[in-house]
Structure 1
Amino acid sequence: MRIRATVAAVSGALALSAFAVPGAHAADSGSAYRADVAKVREAARAADSGESVFRAAAVAVDEPYALDVTFSNIKVNQGKSIVVGATTHTVVPVTYTLTHPVDVNIAAADFFSGPYIYRGTFGNADNEQFGDKPGTCTPTTSTTASCKGNIDIYANEGYLANSDAGTWKAAGLAIAYNGQDPSSTSFDITKVGLADQGGFTSPNVKRMSKLTVNAAPEPVVKGKTITVTGKLTRADWETNTYAGLSGQSVVLQYRKAGTTTYKNVKTIKSTSGGALKTTVTASADGFYRYTYAGVSTVGASTATGDYIDVK
């Protein structure tokens, strides 16, 4: 599920339309899972807020009961930054531990659990990113299970703003439908159990960066000047393009032909439009490249080495 939580609201409670399935994925196997999760969570949040359209009509709000399931050991992307490109579908692996009493049957066909990440405040997040499908769990004892799942992030479907880059948190949810069919007119949400637990550590979500490099002239006479140019860009999630990134420290590296290790030559800063330019003295055949360490909101990148022939 991909949720931009600020898309819609009804008197402070998240509106169900905020969980709508994008048209490009409306027919995929994950759409039913996402829609059903949205329905259950919306009912719980509407009841908690006391400000839903149902409250406004002075009608009692039905809600799922609190499912006795807890989460721990949530590890997102093996602790590595989640780097998302301008148009990519990024699949983020997550592992977690699920704990439950013996009377909660996690092997039931209509029991689902899964991880997600959110930005902002748990329960009133600015953005949430879910997986297309629920996680899978393997029992380790009668009351615990080792689980894994994915978070699917679609950069080109409007679910990320550039301001979303940075700190996120992780969470887990579980739903026990107990024989209830969310698509049925007789669906009784009060018989459905929901556990939703946040506050776990997640790596930062970062905008992907790219680097180019060109060393010239080529060939060059030993002792003469080589000019190494390039460009640093980063993903723009709002235009689905890559835009120049200025004012960033970038390291020029050199690897002599016949060796396997790049060595730092000098550090420069990208200028307007992400442009990179510096000079070095030709010494021997080899490869030049730029490398960028990244920051809290932008991922690291390294250009493919450009060979220079020194005569």
Structure 2
Amino acid sequence: MRMRATLGVVTGAVALTALAIPAAQADEVHGDTTISNVVVNGGKPVVVSATAKKTITVTFTVKDNSGVKSAMAILWHGSDFDHSDSGAVANSSDHYASCSAVSATTSNCKATFDFKPGYNTINAVAGTWKVWGIASGKDADFVQKDNVRTFKVQRLSKLTANAAPEPVTKGKTLTVTGRLTRANWDSAKYSGYAGQPVKLQFRKAGSSTYTTLKTVTADSAGNLKTTTKATADGYFRYSFAGTSTTPAVSAGGDYVDVR
């Protein structure tokens, strides 16, 4: 196997670790080694806040008829692995996964990875990421694939709602304001998510179900504002369905006493 230095990943002006890992072409299979059952972050999107490091776990299964020797995973974003624009290597000292044999031919492997706002997590790389994987058997068989699993990396979202006036006379107009924001990894702050459709919802006192009243579009700063009629005691909230780069979020219900 030839060697290549890979994942000299640059996020802004910050370079991640460059690893020398065995690979000659995009995907290679030599012998009967397989990688399967790849699970990233328990199957959930990786949601990263504006400032805090997010550590996630990746698990996978490796099989080889001679037994499993070693395995590695790298998380990456970009058009192709050799030109990735961000990534993460395992937190272990040698960047390999920890593998435990469950039989003579099968091992379960695990590794943790860090997502750091402003480092390998910048606004431009929110969305779909991939898992590069390599594993080898004790007989020198190996498999290497650039994409054994895709997953989402998203910017944490926040949403508020406030209905006024409180209390209000039945039949009178209520004004409901709020703001939709999401993590800005480049500035380490939360910025308005402009132009997004957000539902205004109402839950009558004593009920457990919200009903959508209308859809409001967030302005250039993420602000929301609309009016509705006061009909009964209950809770008003805004609810955002999410996008590929930003998770769904609902504001806490704001209770209004209707008299």
TM range (shorter): 0.7 to 0.9
Deviations along 1:279-307, one digit per CA (max 9) or x if unpaired, are 11111111111111111122211111111
Q: Is the 8 A contact 2:74 2:87 kept in 1?
A: yes
How far, CA to CA, are the matches of 1:153 and 1:250 in structure 2?
Answer: 28
Deviations along 1:61-113, one digit per CA (max 9) or x if unpaired, are xxxxx998542221223433222111122222322111235265x4xxxx5x4
CA distance 1:89–1:69, shift in 2 (3 Å)? farther
Q: With structure 1 as the length reference, what TM-score do the two structures score?
A: 0.69
Q: Determine which of 40, 45, 49 is the counterpart of 2:20.
A: 40
Deviations along 1:99-134, one digit per CA (max 9) or x if unpaired, are 235265x4xxxx5x4433211212332211233235
> Aligned Cα RMSD in Å?
3.1
Q: With structure 2 as the length reference, what TM-score do the two structures score?
A: 0.81
CA distance 1:8–1:234, shift in 2 (3 Å)? closer
Following TM superposition, by how much is the alpha carbon of 1:7 offset from its aligned partner in structure 2, in angstroms?
A: 5.6
In the other structure, the counterpart of 2:62 is 98
In the other structure, the counterpart of 2:15 is 18
SS of 1:284's equivalent? coil
How far, CA to CA, are the matches of 2:176 and 2:59 in structure 1?
Answer: 43
Q: Is the 8 A contact 1:75 1:202 kept in 2?
A: no
In the other structure, the counterpart of 2:75 is 117
In the other structure, the counterpart of 1:63 is none
Kindly, what percent of the aligned residue pairs are identical? 41
AA at the equivalent of 1:99: K
In the other structure, the counterpart of 2:86 is 127
SS of 1:88's equivalent? coil
Query: How does 1:1-311 map onto structure 2 within 5 Å?
Result: 5-6=9-10, 18-19=15-16, 38-41=18-21, 70-102=34-66, 104=68, 106=69, 113-120=71-78, 121-133=80-92, 135-155=97-117, 157-173=118-134, 196-311=144-259
Q: Is the 8 A contact 1:97 1:144 kept in 2?
A: yes
Aligned length: 244
SS of 2:166's equivalent? coil
Structure 1 residue ranges without an equivalent (≥5): 10-16, 21-37, 50-65, 179-192
How far, CA to CA, are the matches of 2:162 and 2:204 in structure 1?
Answer: 16
AA at the equivalent of 2:74: Y
Following TM superposition, by how much is the alpha carbon of 1:231 offset from its aligned partner in structure 2, in angstroms?
A: 0.4
AA at the equivalent of 1:240: A
How far, CA to CA, are the matches of 2:176 and 2:12 in structure 1?
Answer: 49
Q: Is the 8 A contact 2:98 2:111 kept in 1?
A: yes
How far, CA to CA, are the matches of 1:300 and 1:216 in structure 2?
Answer: 25
CA distance 1:144–1:306, shift in 2 (3 Å)? same
In the other structure, the counterpart of 1:26 is none
CA distance 1:263–1:4, shift in 2 (3 Å)? farther
Following TM superposition, by how much is the alpha carbon of 1:257 offset from its aligned partner in structure 2, in angstroms?
A: 1.4
SS of 1:163's equivalent? helix
